[in-house]
Amino acid sequence: MAVKTITRADLANAIYLGIGLSQHDSALIVEAILRSISDSLVAGDDVKITNFGTFSVRSKKARVGRNPKTGEEVPIEPRRVVAFRPSLHMKTKVAVRK
């Protein structure tokens, strides 16, 4: 089964077809939304999209990892990562689709 990846162009096309804005304006809207989400995450804020989910930034502590090939211990630096927690509505919607 082939998995389709949704791109920025696909999102812009969905806005174009659904609302009727020009393709250029639809692409600008998608870019503005994604920029707003990423700017908020960089600032450390959570982004909650109702009936979709919540994006948040988590801080990971430094730890010692291991190279699986050699078994050598390697230090892993502390870092910040983006986490996504789907809403109950999204979980239910995905679970029903088989």
Contacts of 29 (CB under 8 A, 6+ apart): 12, 15, 21
pLDDT per position as a tens digit, 9-26: 999 999 999 998 999 999
The structure's pTM equals 0.78
Question: With bands split at pLDDT 50, 70 and 90, how would you rate the model's confidence at 1?
Answer: low
Residue 2 has pLDDT above 70, yes or no: no
pLDDT per position as a tens digit, 42-95: 999 999 999 999 999 999 999 999 999 999 999 999 999 999 999 999 999 999
Other Cβ atoms less than 10 A from the Cβ of 41: the count is 17
Other Cβ atoms less than 10 A from the Cβ of 55: the count is 18
Domains, the chain, with CATH or none: 1-44 (no CATH), 46-98 (4.10.520.10)
